[in-house]
Amino acid sequence: MTVLPADVRSLSWAAEQLGIGVSTAYRLAAADQLPGAFKVGAQWRVSVPRFLREVHGEAPLEQVSS
């Protein structure tokens, strides 16, 4: 099992967040329609800050100012 940085997750994480199947997430990523998705070699990954910003309009907790 590969340990990813806290701000990067697997495509299956994004699929779970969106309530879609993993195969649908792969299709969306390949079509450049999954926010924050990028390829590392042959593997798809998701930038959590970009995903949250584009899907939910949220900033990561570290970037929220009071």
Number of domains in the chain: 1
pLDDT at 1: 62
Structural domain boundaries enclosing 31: 8-58
Domain membership flag for residue 42 = yes
Global pTM reads 0.76
Examine residue 21 and state whether it is found in any structural domain, yes or no: yes
pLDDT score at 4 = 75
**Any domain includes 1:** no
Q: What is the pLDDT of residues 31-64, one digit of tens each?
A: 999 999 999 999 999 999 999 999 878 665 554 4
Tell me how far apart the alpha carbons of residues 31 and 7 are, in angstroms, rounded to a whole number.
22
64, part of any domain: no
pLDDT at 43 (0 to 100): 93
Confidence of residue 2 (pLDDT cuts 50, 70, 90): low
